[in-house]
Amino acid sequence: MPELTVRNLRKQFGDNTVLHDNSFTIKDGEFFTLLGPSGCGKSTTLNCIAGLEQPTGGSITVGGTTFVDTERKIFLQPEERNLGMVFQSYALWPHMTIEKNLAMPLKIRKIPRDKQRTLIHEALEKVGLADLSGRYPHQLSGGQQQRVALARALVYSPTVLLLDEPLSNLDAKLREQARAWLKRLQEDLGITTIYVTHDQDEALALSDRIAVMAGGHMLQVDDPHSIYERPAAPEVAAFVGRCNFFEGAVLETVDERHTIRLGCNDGVVEVHSSTQVAVGDTVTVALRPERLEVVPAGEEVAGMNRLDTEVLTSSYVGSHYDYDVRLGSQVVQVESSTPGLTGQVQVVFKPANALLYAQTVELSEDERELITVDS
């Protein structure tokens, strides 16, 4: 399978720019995910690759074939690109059997009828539905319909597979099962795959690499571990996983050890980070809930930052307890193994477990309501 390269991809709808000169390369056989909230540009990017949208600027190539080059005025139609695409709605023809649904793209490509039967059987075998070829879509479960849509995208051996939130219509348990099955199938086939989702768990579980998008920009392109553990920007940390954010001021910095006064409660903490900051800078300290721990008030914990807090709520969720604690003017989320704490407690964390950003986070009104406590 060929490598896919996108350079300076830009898309405008009138005066509204929805993609801002994004560039990335997807390796041969890679599972590459476009992740972000609604309106971030991920589906528009996929549609530009598929040929369903014409970019305002930039180029897209697969192997030695140029799909789009706005400077050279090259634009291949969707049917000329040999890409397989699965839509969120599956887009199956309800009046056709499963076999006839798969036959349609082969007929368009003028594949001989005897060859069609072979290709259809092979595609349905790949997705485990070879014995259901005579059924109609309404006779299948949601998970089976999703597999049929995938088989139809694979039946003509596309060079790249495009998946636009294909699991979003499934219930939670079936979605987990379909996720594992899809990953195994993609690895078995070795097909280059571009996946669009707003589901961070889905992206982390499936992907070789993830591009986190916001406002038409690619904020970070990296492997799942790096995206979660070393988010390049506060916006990435906020979208991928849960995260607490604290505005602070740098009091002292020695090598990669920074002393910071938090704005929410005037507490002083130490953060170990390679982020370049200077005394007096306003910064953002970010902490994942699972990197925090709640301990009884006054308990000594060596090598940890300690902040006096008050428990607001405690919930048992199976593998741990979720605490909401008051830290000055903010509510902080903590995942803890310690049960039953109430009243005055301490939140503790290691200096190396905090993320540090030399910028402040611009929060929406909804986000501010979630973290602000009336004093």
Residue 367 scores a pLDDT above 50:
no
Strands (E), 267-371: 268-272, 282-287, 293-296, 305-316, 321-327, 330-336, 344-349, 355-357
* pLDDT tens per residue across span 179-210: 888 898 899 889 999 999 999 999 999 999 99
- In this structure, of 148-152, 295-299, 364-368, the range with the lowest mean pLDDT score is 364-368
Count other Cβ atoms within 10 Å, centred on residue 329. Answer: 13
**Mean of pLDDT values over 342-367:** 80
Residue 50 has pLDDT above 80, yes or no: yes
Query: For the stretch 296-328, what's the b/e string if a residue is b when 16 or more beta carbons lie within 10 angstroms of its beta carbon?
Result: eeeeeeeebbbbbbebeebeeeeebbebbbbbb
CB 356 within 8 A of CB 283: yes
Give me the residues paired with residue 268 across strands.
261
Q: How far apart are CA 192 and CA 220, in angstroms?
A: 20
Residue 245: which of 275, 272, 282 has the closest Cα? 282
Q: Give per-residue pLDDT as tens, 324-340.
A: 999 999 999 999 988 98
Percent of the chain with pLDDT over 90: 71
What pLDDT digit, counting tens, does each position of 12-21 carry?
Answer: 999 999 999 9
pLDDT at 374: 34
How much is the pLDDT for 1?
54
Comparing 84-98, 107-121, 251-265, 358-372, the range with the smallest average pLDDT is 358-372
- The tens digit of pLDDT for each residue in 199-247 reads 999 999 999 999 999 999 999 999 999 999 999 999 999 999 999 999 9
Does the pLDDT of residue 294 top 80, yes or no?
A: yes
Contacts with 96 (C-beta within 8 Å, 6 or more apart), sequence order: 104, 136
More confident residue, 88 or 137: 137
User: d(Cα 108, Cα 143) in Å, to the nearest integer?
Assistant: 26
Entry field: residues in the chain: 375
CB 85 within 8 A of CB 162: yes
pLDDT higher than threshold 90 for residue 373: no
Check: CB of residue 272 under 8 Å from CB of residue 352: yes
Interval 103-107 mean pLDDT: 90
pLDDT of residue 365: 47
Q: What is the pLDDT of residues 27-41, one digit of tens each?
A: 999 999 999 999 999
- Rounded to the nearest integer, the mean pLDDT of the chain is 90
Q: H-helix or E-strand containing 170?
A: none
